[in-house]
């Protein structure tokens, strides 16, 4: 869906299919399906001037971190060639997703093949999100072949 919102980036990816790896990373950053993460503080920590004792449960907003202007120039923009792109879509450190390499590979193959077969696709109705906050996704994204 994001490529339909940024037709210039869709055309760029169609013209330069070698950008698929950076495009997948940007899609993960921009539309991360994992939005929230829960953690327990293991030792007293100060965050934003507030002391948090060990054992405090915190909820981290991964989606907001992936739009952090201190980390990403033009964080609200979408750039299929963005580098570096140190997003947190798959977590980090000990909490990284075990399937992230496979997910990246599947995304690159699926998106590349879809664009090769339907380069002129357009939205044909309003996409419907699944309604979950923690893990986002779509129930439907109606499309049709374009001209």
Task: Express each pLDDT in 80-132 by its tens digit.
Answer: 999 999 999 998 888 888 999 999 999 999 999 999 999 999 999 999 998 88
HEC profile of 7-47: HHHHHHHHHCHHHHHHHHHHHHHHCCCECEEEEECCCCEEE
| pLDDT (average), residues 9-35 | 95
The proportion of the chain whose per-residue pLDDT surpasses 70, expressed as a percent, equals: 100
CA dist list (Å): 20 to 11, 15, 49, 65, 94: 12, 11, 42, 23, 27
| Residue 134: per-residue pLDDT | 81
Whole-model pTM: value is 0.88
| pLDDT (average), residues 21-35 | 94
Would the pLDDT of 53 be above 80? yes
| Residue 135: per-residue pLDDT | 84
Task: List pLDDT tens digits, range 107-120.
Answer: 999 999 999 999 99
Between 8-12, 20-24, 137-141, the lowest mean confidence (pLDDT) is in 137-141
What is the dihedral sign for C-alpha 102, 58, 137, 16?
A: negative
Q: Residue 73: which pLDDT band, with cuts at 50, 70 and 90?
A: very high
| Residue 132: per-residue pLDDT | 82
Of 35 and 54, more confident = 54
Q: Which domains does the chain have, with CATH numbers?
A: 2-144 (1.10.630.10)
């Amino acid at each position: 869906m994001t490529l339909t919102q940024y037709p210039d980036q869709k055309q760029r990816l169609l013209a330069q299919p070698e950008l698929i790896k950076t495009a997948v990373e940007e899609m993960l950053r921009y539309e991360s399906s994992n939005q929230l993460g829960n953690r327990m503080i293991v030792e007293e920590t100060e965050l934003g001037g507030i002391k948090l004792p060990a054992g405090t449960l915190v909820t981290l907003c991964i989606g907001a971190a992936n739009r952090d202007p201190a980390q990403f120039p033009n964080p609200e923009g979408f750039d299929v060639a963005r580098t570096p792109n140190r997003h947190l879509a798959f977590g980090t450190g000990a909490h990284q997703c075990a399937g992230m390499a496979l997910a990246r590979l599947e995304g690159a193959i699926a998106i590349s093949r879809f664009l090769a077969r339907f380069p002129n696709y357009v939205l044909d109705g309003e996409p419907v999100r699944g309604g979950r906050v923690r893990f986002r996704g779509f129930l439907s994204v109606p499309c049709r072949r374009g001209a």
